[in-house]
Amino acid sequence: MQAATEKITVGSQVWVADPSVAWIDGEMLKIDGTEAEIRTSDGKKVSCSYAPISIFILSTNFTISSEKKAGCQLCACKLIEFMDAIQSFNQFQLLTSLTFRHIYNVVTKLSKVYPKEMDYPDGGVDDMTKLSYLHEPGVLHNLAIRYERDKLYTYTGNILIAVNPFQSLPHLYDAHMMEKYKGAEFGDLSPHVFAIAEIAFREMVNGGKSNSILVSGESGAGKTETTKMLMRYLAHVGGHKGTEGRTVEQQVLESNPVLEAFGNAKTVRNNNSSRFGKFVEIQFDKRGRISGAAIRTYLLERSRVCQISDPERNYHCFYLLCAAPPEEVKKYKLGDPTSFHYLNQSNCYELVGVNDAHDYLATRRAMDTIGISQKEQDAIFRVVASILHLGNLEFAKGEEIDSAILKDEKSKFHLQVTAELLMCDLHALEDSLLKRLMVTPEEVIKRSLDPQGATFSRDSLAKTLYSRLFDW
């Protein structure tokens, strides 16, 4: 990003970097070679924590209380010198009043200064190609202005920029809104995710070629929700009746809660963060009706199965299963999430506004809709439960050197339950955790593992089980 320095003169309105708000506007006071002096329009937004070498405090006034009622004024003093000056007045007791003038002068490199848009609409512009200066502060300012007016979407040519509102806005995505954008020309209506879906759909139908929509952004940007809205719109415009009373579009849409249950988790930034990448392919016939769908997943965060930290959670499905109906909890020999090692590493067990018991039933219904049989569902949740029990295995030193054994009766119980849920031999499972096989051309060697090695083996098995389940 290059600053348009040739357009900046003394008196110009400009943008300058600020540590607290990213960019702050101001007036160019002086240009001296490659240096510029700028007065900000709102001094309160310039923090005294700004780099001392680049900030000068002019006419900064402060008073101190003392027996002598001394008053002092400090002028043109660098911040670090100002702090030293404060310390020198300790002999007059503590400072009881410290007052700054609220207009500061910021000195920065001219290459870090950008011209500010002058003829700027009050509500911003809906397409940022209309901006005279398409630089970072100009883009961020335009997005902020629109966001303050509840305008979440902004175009940059044929690219849609979405700002996550972090709240539910059903009126913005209801059937009426979908009908409004159906058949509309791109740019005729306000920027919206439905407009992007509509143009991709029309290009596919009219041109007879596949189209792609790339949804990208940092963690918490709203990629998951945006993808769901795209799928909803495409299901709306291309929907038709399927077999067995289920519509094809229903099956496409109900894949979302299933994927979210097993692939999403609470992170620091996002209560429903996707911990994997996905490629969603929605297939249409020649008349533009949905005929099927395929979802490919990539790069699942395997480590989360065994290791989490405050205030994050493990994958949703673990908490959903713990909140299942009593007969389900009893069948899988589960209990409170606090009793499982893979969940109690964090103190976050519940999400505000989320009912895990309700979501468990919703996930089961979604599985029914997309055609997962009851037998397959039972197998899925047996694996999920087995991972929780597996995580509660603890190991102690064995009698032999560098060997391990199950620590106590509690660990033996969880091992037995794990074997029952996985429908495998108890002794074979125990052996796989406590020993390692080394295969040579001549023979197969079994080597005992110490407690640390057995714990690593336990976590590796848990991650492999979950990863294979998710891929299935």
Q: Which domain holds residue 83?
A: 5-115
What was the pLDDT predicted at 7?
73
Average pLDDT rounded to a whole number, residues 135-145: 93
Co-location of 291 and 362 in the same domain: yes
Co-location of 71 and 180 in the same domain: no
Co-location of 364 and 227 in the same domain: yes
Co-location of 94 and 140 in the same domain: no
Alpha-carbon span 387 to 459, nearest angstrom: 9
Q: What is the number of domains present in the chain? A: 3
Alpha-carbon span 100 to 227, nearest angstrom: 49
CATH number for position 196: 3.40.850.10
Mean pLDDT taken over the chain: 83
Q: How confident is the model at residue 350 (pLDDT cuts 50, 70, 90)?
A: very high
Co-location of 145 and 241 in the same domain: yes
Domain-located, residue 342: no
Co-location of 302 and 202 in the same domain: yes
Count H helices and E strands in the chain, helices first.
Answer: 14, 20
Domain-located, residue 48: yes
Domain-located, residue 236: yes
Co-location of 170 and 289 in the same domain: yes
Q: Is residue 14 a contact partner of residue 25, using CB atoms and an 8 Å limit?
A: yes
Q: Which of 80, 115, 150 is the last residue of a domain?
A: 115
Co-location of 320 and 422 in the same domain: no
CB within 8 Å of 215: residues ≥ 6 apart: 223, 226, 227, 230
CATH number for position 467: 1.20.120.720
Q: How confident is the model at residue 263 (pLDDT cuts 50, 70, 90)?
A: very high
Note the residue count of the chain.
472
**Which two three-digit tokens encode residue 192?**
């919206």
Of 454, 455, 456, 436, whose CA–CA distance to 446 is shortest? 436
Of 274, 316, 282, 280, whose CA–CA distance to 299 is shortest? 274
Domain-located, residue 32: yes
Co-location of 442 and 295 in the same domain: no
Alpha-carbon span 454 to 452, nearest angstrom: 5
What was the pLDDT predicted at 244?
53
Q: Is the bond into 137 cis (omega within 30 degrees of 0)? A: no
- Beta-bridge partners for 108: 36
Domain-located, residue 75: yes
pLDDT at 260 over 80: yes
**Which two three-digit tokens encode residue 471?**
């891929």
Domain-located, residue 410: yes
pLDDT at 86 over 60: no
Domain-located, residue 449: yes
pLDDT at 4 over 60: no
- Residue percentage of the chain with pLDDT more than 90: 60
What was the pLDDT predicted at 82?
36
Co-location of 229 and 107 in the same domain: no
Which letter, b or e, does each residue of 331-365 get, where b requires 16 or more Cβ atoms within 10 Å of its Cβ?
ebbbeebeebbbbbebebbeeeeeebeebbebbbe
Where do runs of H (alpha helix) occur along 39-135? 79-87
Co-location of 210 and 284 in the same domain: yes
Which letter, b or e, does each residue of 200-233 get, where b requires 16 or more Cβ atoms within 10 Å of its Cβ?
bbbebbeeeeeeebebeeeebbbbbbbbbbbbbb
Co-location of 223 and 370 in the same domain: yes
pTM, to two decimals: 0.76
Domain-located, residue 74: yes
Of 110, 281, 134, whose CA–CA distance to 200 is shortest? 281
Annotated binding site: 217-224
What was the pLDDT predicted at 121?
86
- Burial (CB < 10 A; 0-12, 13-18, 19+), residue 160, is middle
Average pLDDT rounded to a whole number, residues 314-332: 97
Annotated binding site for ATP: 217-224
Q: Which of 82, 115, 148 is the last residue of a domain?
A: 115
pLDDT at 197 over 70: yes
Alpha-carbon span 186 to 181, nearest angstrom: 9
